A and B are shown apart, each in its own frame.
Chain A
Amino acid sequence: MNDTDKPQPGQPEDSAGQTLTEPAPGDQQGERSRSVLRDIASGDAMAGVLAVFLAVFVGSVMIAATDEGVREAASYVTARPSDFFTALWEAISGAYSAMFRGSVFNYLLTEPAQQWRPLTETLKFAGPLILGGLGVGLAFRASLFNIGGRGQMLVAGGAAGYVGFQFDLPTIVHLPLALVVAMVAGALWGGIAGLLKARTGAHEVIVTIMLNYVAYYLLFYALTKDWLLKTPGSVNPKSPPMKDSATLPKVLGDQFNLHLGFVIALVAVGVAWWLLNRSTLGYRIRAVGENPHAARASGINVGMTYTIVMMIAGSLLGLAGANQVLGTVTSGVSLDLDASIGFDAITVALLGRSRPLGILAAGLLFGALKAGGFTMQASESISVDLVLVVQSLIVLFLAAPPLVRAIFRLPAQEAK
């Protein structure tokens, strides 16, 4: 490396050239938010692991602090410290073993099928998280922050649900049709944000957040009208249940809830990997995400790329929505169909560093947290909210890499 001189902020470099043309102030700001986004979305794998580790540790402290046994033993800790540590151990190990039993393997049961059942639950929860994570992560790679996962899921779920209960078709046609409709609806909803960004420069964060509201109230409206989604004769804002021909089939037989959605998610991981690493479209997406100026000067239509990326992202979130409506909760479309997956997907994408395989791993982890959280609440009476706290802490630690580095005394990242 010959380039030994480091430009300082506001301190010009050696000579005309290196990093010098000062961008216009507005541009500079865009540049900064882009690089921050890039840092958060594509930090190294170690940062992800450490963030999870830290979050679990803080979670343990919270379990201990809220556990009654621990608090009781703490009141006479100076007299009998062993009591305190025993209580501490019991609270924390109890919580995490319950989580393990709820998410992977229940060793308290005897029948193998029942023992492994939690794992299938984990996979069931992981499916839409992976799909959504891919949708958000793909947008990240183009330097777009897609917060509109919820809206895209709601619109797609509503559309898929309509197809699901309204039509009478053979499964071979009905299910694929419902899935395609969901993808198209999601793509259109995501595409609006992309198109607005491309044409008017509207910031995608603001647009997607607002589109979440629009989607929510559109769905709400549709759920109050008989001719749209509402079950005729019912007072609840809920659609009729899905026809069997439109539901995602159970892949391991009826005793497990795991349905085809997880398989679709796995396929989507493969497709996304190919798209980003092996296709020309993915190459252009990455070029636009890393340096839109150079992409533009090289003949790449940046605005069009934004729009396409948001459409693909929307279609992936649309699949996540269909996964919920046609697979997990087939009793009918309702306003909470997204089950906060639209936002969890952001966390998944961040933890997976916007890479398809990373998102697969992160989605599985979050699926396990979801599945295990319920068991933890049931058997150890620890609030399921704790899981949400751990999830949120993961993002927090991911977003503050210097904090994690400081805690683990890692060296600062070398400047290039």
Chain B
Amino acid sequence: MRLVLRGITKRFGSMVANDSISLTVEPGEIHCLLGENGAGKSTLMNVLYGLYKADEGEIELDGEVQHFTGPGDAMAAGIGMVHQHFMLIPVFSVAENVMLGNETTGFAGTLDLDASRARVAEISERFGFHVDPDALVEDLPVGVQQRVEIIKALSRDAELLVFDEPTAVLTPQETDELMEIMRQLKEAGKAIVFITHKLREVRAVADRITVIRLGKVVGEADPTASNAELASMMVGRPVELVVHKDAPTLGADALVVKDLRVTDLAGHKQVDGLSFTIRAGEVLCVAGVQGNGQTELTEALLGLQDDVSGSITLDGVELVGRSTRRILDAGVGFIPEDRQVDGLVPSFTIAENLMLNRSFRSPFVKNGNLRLGALREFAQEKLQQYDVRARDIDSLAASLSGGNQQKVVVARELSRDLRLLVAAQPTRGVDVGSIEFIHKQIVATRDSGIPVLVVSTELDEVVALADRIMVLYRGRVVGIVPADTPRETLGLMMTGERPKDLKDVAS
């Protein structure tokens, strides 16, 4: 099926999310939409999928202009969407999920589950998916769940498949498998739109690349273009993709974690016997697929988890059992993985957000009164220093872009006297330009002799920042390896396998 988008414009109030975007996707082609977060990729796809109505422009499928009023229309016309967060019901079987919303029923409304089962088996076989129709979705690994989504789209005879950031939740191996599936679908004559901001993946599978910036198409690129070329198209200026850092100047053992165990409310051990050490002036990166205990680890370090056993000492001081406030007082800086939830108060101004973890002591507090003058001065200075692009210090945090929000968090954490920095997904959802800046700040922190723990699910980031890499799988350490460990080895370790000849490196 041939898709033509012609001059799609979508406005939200005064803001133009899509500015007359035109795009053609041929059958048997993988068309990559490359752009930063907030560039307008998802908006465009939501227009295509009938979730938004375009203010201008038209959608044409095989030469016919379409007027979608909702996703149902889009599906009927042969468009399938594979969402980043799967739209599956965990306690249903694969077959039940696939038929959901499109159930065939027999006498008196009984569900024809066999038909669905057969359909799943057929599609699964045709593309080599290896999916059991009767397995419960909650029991399946993430990569397989994603295949269920794909089967669901294919079972409705989708000819055009949209993958919206499909690799964010996958291991490197699963990503490779997905690429393979996409190629197969292409061979079968499907048209594929692949939305991403990861350059490596684009170059691996794309037949054509369209780069979007600030709601506009800024150009087409060739899959043979270099990373640097693609990045500068995305950002609109040359970007340094490599983090420059010198060899670390290591000090004494600073953070010592021994046999840490964290149990969640449901009674599951999320962190199971973790031991590691970070020395002063060292970056330890925690790698792993999302949901393998990283969140619980960082929260335990900050005293945000209730059920923690084992020991965490920072410069000889025990942190387990201390309140978050006292841990912060001990000099722990924290960049949380979701700034919107744990990092910022969106309805507060930038200045108010900058004092969030210093509401008890000087310099912004005197006898229970806020020292608004001191706060304003401080905020003004940090706005400059951290290059936060905002109208002024009274702008609401909610009005900032992801990158600028993150800079506010980074500014707040790094402007205290730190003895440890914990950075969880420090550049998630942050534009390339800000990533560069934040990475530099993290390296500068390390160089000033502070131990740094970075948690990231992006292997690129892990490799760029780490002095040593700790790979987590199901709450346990698979290994602690040097920063120059090959990606394939790291990818393998992220699935829980430990290569035979692997040697852990001590700090």
Residues of A bordering B, CB below 8 Å: 1-8, 10-23, 38, 278-281, 283-284, 286-287, 290-291, 293-301, 414-416
B467 beta carbon closer than 8 Å to chain A:
no
Query: Could you say which residues of chain A place their CB within 8 Å of the CB of B304?
Result: 296-297
- Among the interface residues A11, A17, A19, A295, which one has the most CB atoms of the partner chain B within 10 A? A17
B102 beta carbon closer than 8 Å to chain A:
no
B181 beta carbon closer than 8 Å to chain A:
no
In the assembled complex, the Cα of A11 lies from the Cα of B396 at a distance in Å of: 25
Check if B41 sits within 8 Å of A293, measured CB to CB: no
B485 beta carbon closer than 8 Å to chain A:
no
B214 beta carbon closer than 8 Å to chain A:
yes
- Smallest CB-CB separation from B342: which chain A residue? A297
Check if A2 sits within 8 Å of B401, measured CB to CB: yes
Query: Could you say which residues of chain A place their CB within 8 Å of the CB of B403?
Result: 2
A-binding segment of B140-148, B252-260, B427-435 = B427-435
Check if A281 sits within 8 Å of B368, measured CB to CB: yes
Query: Could you say which residues of chain A place their CB within 8 Å of the CB of B39?
Result: 4-5, 14
Interface range on chain B (Cβ under 8 Å from partner)? 35 or more
> Given contacts A15-B165, A17-B37, is CB(A301)–CB(B359) below 8 Å?
no
Pairs across A and B, CB under 8 Å, 24 listed? A1-B15, A1-B401, A2-B214, A4-B17, A6-B12, A7-B42, A11-B46, A14-B41, A16-B428, A22-B85, A279-B370, A281-B368, A283-B370, A286-B345, A290-B347, A291-B344, A293-B341, A294-B344, A296-B342, A297-B302, A297-B334, A297-B357, A299-B323, A416-B396
Query: Could you say which residues of chain A place their CB within 8 Å of the CB of B428?
Result: 16-17
- Among the interface residues A23, A284, A295, which one has the most CB atoms of the partner chain B within 10 A? A295
In the assembled complex, the Cα of A284 lies from the Cα of B37 at a distance in Å of: 32
B84 beta carbon closer than 8 Å to chain A:
yes
Query: Could you say which residues of chain B place their CB within 8 Å of the CB of A8?
Result: 46, 51-52
B245 beta carbon closer than 8 Å to chain A:
no
| In the complex, per-residue mask of B197-221: 1 if CB is within 8 Å of any chain A CB, else 0 | 1000000000000000011000000
Query: Could you say which residues of chain A place their CB within 8 Å of the CB of B396?
Result: 416
Query: Could you say which residues of chain A place their CB within 8 Å of the CB of B215?
Result: 4
- Smallest CB-CB separation from B356: which chain A residue? A298
B132 to chain A, nearest CB (A): 26
In the assembled complex, the Cα of A212 lies from the Cα of B37 at a distance in Å of: 50
Which of the residues A5, A22, A279 comes within 8 Å of B37, measured between beta carbons?
A5
Query: Could you say which residues of chain A place their CB within 8 Å of the CB of B365?
Result: 280
B386 to chain A, nearest CB (A): 16
Query: Could you say which residues of chain B place their CB within 8 Å of the CB of A15?
Result: 37, 84, 165, 168, 196-197, 429
Query: Could you say which residues of chain B place their CB within 8 Å of the CB of A301?
Result: 323, 325
Which of the residues A16, A283, A295 comes within 8 Å of B168, measured between beta carbons?
A16
Apart from A14-B197, A20-B338, A295-B345, what 9 extra A-B contacts exist at CB < 8 Å?
A2-B401, A3-B38, A4-B18, A10-B87, A15-B165, A16-B428, A21-B341, A286-B345, A294-B342
B1 to chain A, nearest CB (A): 22
- Smallest CB-CB separation from A24: which chain B residue? B265
> Given contacts A5-B37, A16-B168, is CB(A299)–CB(B337) below 8 Å?
no
Which of the residues A19, A280, A284, A295 comes within 8 Å of B340, measured between beta carbons?
A19
Q: Is the interface of A mostly helix, strand, loop or mixed?
A: loop
A212 to chain B, nearest CB (A): 31
In the assembled complex, the Cα of A15 lies from the Cα of B457 at a distance in Å of: 13
Check if B345 sits within 8 Å of A300, measured CB to CB: no
Query: Could you say which residues of chain B place their CB within 8 Å of the CB of A3?
Result: 37-38, 401-402
A367 to chain B, nearest CB (A): 31
In the assembled complex, the Cα of A414 lies from the Cα of B431 at a distance in Å of: 24
Check if A294 sits within 8 Å of B360, measured CB to CB: no
Check if A278 sits within 8 Å of B369, measured CB to CB: yes
Check if B302 sits within 8 Å of A17, measured CB to CB: no
Check if B165 sits within 8 Å of A16, measured CB to CB: yes
B324 to chain A, nearest CB (A): 5
Check if B430 sits within 8 Å of A17, measured CB to CB: yes
- Among the interface residues A13, A14, A38, which one has the most CB atoms of the partner chain B within 10 A? A14
Check if A1 sits within 8 Å of B345, measured CB to CB: no
Check if A283 sits within 8 Å of B338, measured CB to CB: no
Query: Could you say which residues of chain B place their CB within 8 Å of the CB of A281?
Result: 368
Check if B370 sits within 8 Å of A4, measured CB to CB: no
In the assembled complex, the Cα of A2 lies from the Cα of B401 at a distance in Å of: 5
- Smallest CB-CB separation from A22: which chain B residue? B85
Which of the residues A5, A12, A414 comes within 8 Å of B17, measured between beta carbons?
A5
In the assembled complex, the Cα of A294 lies from the Cα of B346 at a distance in Å of: 10
In the assembled complex, the Cα of A209 lies from the Cα of B197 at a distance in Å of: 51
B336 beta carbon closer than 8 Å to chain A:
yes
B486 beta carbon closer than 8 Å to chain A:
no
Check if B165 sits within 8 Å of A14, measured CB to CB: yes
Query: Could you say which residues of chain B place their CB within 8 Å of the CB of A415?
Result: 12-13
In the assembled complex, the Cα of A290 lies from the Cα of B349 at a distance in Å of: 12
- Among the interface residues B17, B38, B336, B398, which one has the most CB atoms of the partner chain A within 10 A? B38
In the assembled complex, the Cα of A283 lies from the Cα of B196 at a distance in Å of: 40
> Given contacts A14-B165, A291-B346, is CB(A4)–CB(B340) below 8 Å?
no
- Smallest CB-CB separation from A414: which chain B residue? B13
In the assembled complex, the Cα of A299 lies from the Cα of B37 at a distance in Å of: 30
